[in-house]
Structure formats: structure tokens, C-alpha cells
Amino acid sequence: MFPFIFEWTWDISHIVFMGGLWYAISIIGAGLTFAIVKSLFDVYGSHDSHGNGHH
């Protein structure tokens, strides 16, 4: 799963499989992060800048 595990090889089948896997994981992770960060901005974004302005 990771390059530091000794079964790891840089042959084509490994690259295709792990490439597909990490591609999917990255999309899921990025999508989730986007939704969470955007929600945080939606809720606290304007409020925070307003608060900071006073300090």
C-alpha cells in the first residue's frame, strides 16, 4: 500500500492498481475537505472577519 512496505514494486501492474486507488482516495478526500471547509466559511467566515475587525 505504501512504498516503504517491502512488497512494494514499481512495476506496471502495481502502478496502475495503486494509482487508481490513490486517485479515488484523493478525490473522496478532496471532496470531503472542500465541503467541510466551505461550510466552515459559510458559517464563520463573515462572522470571523467582523470579529477580527474589532480587535
Partner 1 sequence: MNETPLIPAGVKRCSKWQFSLWMAAVTAVLLWGVYAMFLIWYKGLNQTNMNDAYGFALWIWADLAVIALGGGAFFSGFLTYIIGKDELKNIINFAVIIGFICYSSALLILAIDIGQPLRGWFIFWHANVHSMLTEVAFCLSCYFAVLTIEFIPLILENPKLAKKPFLHHLSHNMHGIMAVFAATGVFLSFFHQGSLGGVAGVLYGRPFAFREHIFIWPFTFFLFTWSAAACGPCFTILVTKITEKITGKKLVGDAAVRLLAKISGWMIITYIIAKTADTIYWAYVTAPGLGFTLMDFYTSSTYNIGLLFAEIIVCGFVPGLILITKRGRESSFLLMTAIILAVIGVSLNRWVMVLQVMAVPLFSFNEWYTYMPSWQEVATTVLPVAYGLIVISLAYRYLPVFPQERELNPID
Question: Using CB under 8 A, which residues numbered 9 to 38 contact partner 1?
Answer: 13-14, 17-18, 20-21, 24-25, 27-28, 31-32, 34-36, 38
Sequential DSSP letters for the chain: --TTSTT---SHHHHHHHHHHHHHHHHHHHHHHHHHHHHHIIIIIHHHHHHHHH-
Min dist CB 48 to partner 1, Å, is 13
Distance in angstroms (rounded) separating the CA atoms of residues 16 and 38 = 32
The answer to the question of residue 51 lying near partner 1 (CB under 8 A) is: no
Chain residues that interact with partner 1, rule: CB under 8 A: 1, 5, 7, 13-14, 17-18, 20-21, 24-25, 27-28, 31-32, 34-36, 38-40, 42-43
